[in-house]
């Protein structure tokens, strides 16, 4: 968002400099005392009519203004569809004459009145449109809250588990502080996640098909990318090494990761697109997911390049995380070579391998400090669909030669199988958030936080508790957003 500038000419130079040549500016102005659904409909219509939406906020003293300008402009800037917002220093039609936006939008109620803007837009070939938007866009403010708001009240922290393992919940704040500065290298599959929020219109009359219309769209970096972003959000110096296709998804990922302060190297594989998952949602539920991907293993040339880069980076690494989605970035020859190199340099290793259909084997990551499969992934790795969970965890620990095993159980929480006083013990943590908004990404968040805590010297029982807290925060909002250490500390304090 552009800042409030000292004069109109400077504001216009700044605006035009930020809008790419050939892109159409849509302009809306108003008092905007309290942003309500009617405003959102109007702004959505304007945003869809142009390529960049500029909103002018009338100054204090304008008839009808009841709230100070700084508060009103802050409210407008919080709306994602607004590209630029500024405080007007003159009547809107005079500002329009200087900015010359391609499209000016006013509410439908003004269509029959005299509009000073009409002559102005006619003078330079612009268009004045009248609309109050569509009723269905009243839900847009709720959609924004789904993505941005973390609801701590839905999270319930178990009290018996800390007692069993000799710690108090508030003591975990000190453990969180130990995560800061850990040097984390993440290797694995890059995924781009797109969430398309839709309004359900009903059933088609031609065939039994659900009909929806898109309202809004959000795009996130997922897969190994979000694991690296979680690490950065928890205080790490994070780096990502991955592969992608020669497509528009790679520059997007690089830009997003740069903004999140995650160093990244994306090697290009000419034989595959960057994995892209699209979720179509309506009324808080996912209707359909469409995946664009290839699952064949990276070729020997790419594998050799990745091994060489890992070798170069290990002296700057405290913790190496394998983030495997079984889309081909981590063939076994690469896993084995990286594991051997890291072990020689005493770099701690942890792995998460998510099942793609029936393809997954977490046990192929041997010698890890931590592995975090789901129950289904654990059973796939062992081809054991009958043993109880405790036996399953112990068998997987032996097969993978892992120090600690966390078996995640979806809504039932997770099982911790780890050494204590020289023997392996098993304990269970329930799900901390019993009303999740979006479970996608919970495992990545839990894995990253738990592994970092172990690297910081926190014992497995506290580490698993912190990881569960992080996962509970992650599922309290929609979309693959990185965890923030401030949210984690706030939840520890929350009673």
Collapsing DSSP states into helix, strand and coil, what is residue 433? strand
The enclosing H or E element of 147 equals helix 140-148
Nearest in space to 360 (alpha carbons), one of 348, 374, 340 = 374
pTM confidence score = 0.74
Rounded CA separation 355/378 (Å) = 10
Angle (CA) 225-227-230 rounded to 5° is 110
Residue 495: pLDDT band with limits 50, 70, 90 = low
> What's the rounded mean pLDDT across residues 342-364?
88
Nearest in space to 442 (alpha carbons), one of 417, 406, 469 = 469
Note whether 103 and 27 are within 8 A (CB). Answer: yes
Please determine, for residue 266, whether its predicted confidence score (pLDDT) is greater than 80. Answer: yes
Note whether 458 and 451 are within 8 A (CB). Answer: no
Angle (CA) 308-313-318 rounded to 5° is 135
Q: Where are the domains of the chain?
A: 8-133, 151-193+219-280+292-493
Tell me how far the alpha carbon of residue 462 is from its chain's centroid. Answer: 25
Helix spans in 178-272 (H):
224-233, 249-259
Note whether 201 and 211 are within 8 A (CB). Answer: yes
Tell me the chain's radius of gyration from C-alpha atoms: 26
Residue 356: pLDDT band with limits 50, 70, 90 = low
Rounded CA separation 480/476 (Å) = 11
Please determine, for residue 482, whether its predicted confidence score (pLDDT) is greater than 50. Answer: yes
The CB density around residue 8, as the number of other CB atoms within 10 Å, is 17
What is the per-residue pLDDT across 150-182, written as a single tens digit (0 to 9) for each?
Answer: 555 578 898 989 998 999 999 999 999 999 999
What is the per-residue pLDDT across 63-98, written as a single tens digit (0 to 9) for each?
Answer: 988 889 988 898 898 888 899 999 998 999 999 999
Q: What is the sign, positive or negative, of the torsion defined by CA atoms of 481, 483, 484, 488?
A: positive
What is the per-residue pLDDT across 222-236, written as a single tens digit (0 to 9) for each?
Answer: 999 999 999 999 999
Note whether 303 and 332 are within 8 A (CB). Answer: no
Residue 290: pLDDT band with limits 50, 70, 90 = very high
The domain over range 151-193+219-280+292-493 is classified in CATH as 3.40.50.12280: no
CA–CA distance from 419 to each of 366, 402, 416 (Å)? Answer: 17, 11, 10
Rounded CA separation 473/493 (Å) = 13
Residue 52: the pLDDT is 92
Residue 301: the pLDDT is 95
The CB density around residue 361, as the number of other CB atoms within 10 Å, is 19
Residue 70 main-chain phi, psi, to 5 deg: -65, -35
> What's the rounded mean pLDDT across residues 422-428?
89
Rounded CA separation 281/154 (Å) = 22
What is the per-residue pLDDT across 202-256, written as a single tens digit (0 to 9) for each?
Answer: 888 888 888 888 888 889 999 999 999 999 999 999 999 999 999 999 999 999 9
Rounded CA separation 243/247 (Å) = 12
Q: Just give the CATH number of 8-133.
A: 3.40.50.620
Furthest CA-CA distance within the chain: 84
The CB density around residue 271, as the number of other CB atoms within 10 Å, is 12
**Cβ neighbours of residue 85 under 8 Å, at least 6 residues apart?**
1, 2, 54, 55, 56, 57, 73, 76, 77
Residue 7: the pLDDT is 61
Nearest in space to 214 (alpha carbons), one of 204, 201, 227 = 201
């Amino acid at each position: 968002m552009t800042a409030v500038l000292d004069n109109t000419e400077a504001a216009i130079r700044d605006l035009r400099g930020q809008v790419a040549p050939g892109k159409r500016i849509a302009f809306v102005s108003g008092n905007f005392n309290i942003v309500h659904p009617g405003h959102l409909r109007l702004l959505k219509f304007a945003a869809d009519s142009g390529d960049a939406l500029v909103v002018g906020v009338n100054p204090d003293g304008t008839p009808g203004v009841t709230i100070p300008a700084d508060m009103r402009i802050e409210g407008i800037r919080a709306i994602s569809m607004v590209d630029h917002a500024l405080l007007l220093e003159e009547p809107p039609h005079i500002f329009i004459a200087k900015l010359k936006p391609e499209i000016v939008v006013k509410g439908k109620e003004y269509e029959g009145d005299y509009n000073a803007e009409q002559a102005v837009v006619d003078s330079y070939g612009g268009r004045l449109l009248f609309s109050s938007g569509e009723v269905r866009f009243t839900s847009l403010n709720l959609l924004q809250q789904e993505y941005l708001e973390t609801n701590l009240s839905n999270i319930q922290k178990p009290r018996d588990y800390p007692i069993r393992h000799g710690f108090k919940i508030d003591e975990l704040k000190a453990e969180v502080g130990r995560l800061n500065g850990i040097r984390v290298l993440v290797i694995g599959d890059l995924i781009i996640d797109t969430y398309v929020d839709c309004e359900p219109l009903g059933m088609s009359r031609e065939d039994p098909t659900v009909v929806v219309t898109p309202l809004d769209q959000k795009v996130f970096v997922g897969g190994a990318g979000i694991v690296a972003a979680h690490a950065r959000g928890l205080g790490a110096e994070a780096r990502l090494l991955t592969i992608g296709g020669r497509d528009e998804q790679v520059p997007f990922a690089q830009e997003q990761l740069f903004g999140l302060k995650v160093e990244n190297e994306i090697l290009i594989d000419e034989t595959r697109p960057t994995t892209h998952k699209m979720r179509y949602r309506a009324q808080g539920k996912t209707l359909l997911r469409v995946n664009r991907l290839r699952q064949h293993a990276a070729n020997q040339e790419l594998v050799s390049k990745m091994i060489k880069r890992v070798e170069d980076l290990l002296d700057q690494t405290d913790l190496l995380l394998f983030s495997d989605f079984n889309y081909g970035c981590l063939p076994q020859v690469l896993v084995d070579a990286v594991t051997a190199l890291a072990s020689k340099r005493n770099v701690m290793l942890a792995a998460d391998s998510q099942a793609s259909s029936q393809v997954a084997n977490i046990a192929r990551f041997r010698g890890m400090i931590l592995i975090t499969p789901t129950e289904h992934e654990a059973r796939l790795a062992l081809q054991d669909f009958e043993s109880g969970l405790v036996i399953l965890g112990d068998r997987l620990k032996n097969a993978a030669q892992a120090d600690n095993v966390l078996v995640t159980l979806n809504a039932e929480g997770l099982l911790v199988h780890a050494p204590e006083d020289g023997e392996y013990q098993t304990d269970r943590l329930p799900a901390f958030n019993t009303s999740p908004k979006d479970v996608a990404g919970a495992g990545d968040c839990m894995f990253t936080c738990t592994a970092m805590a172990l690297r910081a010297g926190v014992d497995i029982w506290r580490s698993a508790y912190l990881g569960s807290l992080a996962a509970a925060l992650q599922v309290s909002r929609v979309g693959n957003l990185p965890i923030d250490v401030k949210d984690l500390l706030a939840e520890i304090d929350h009673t």
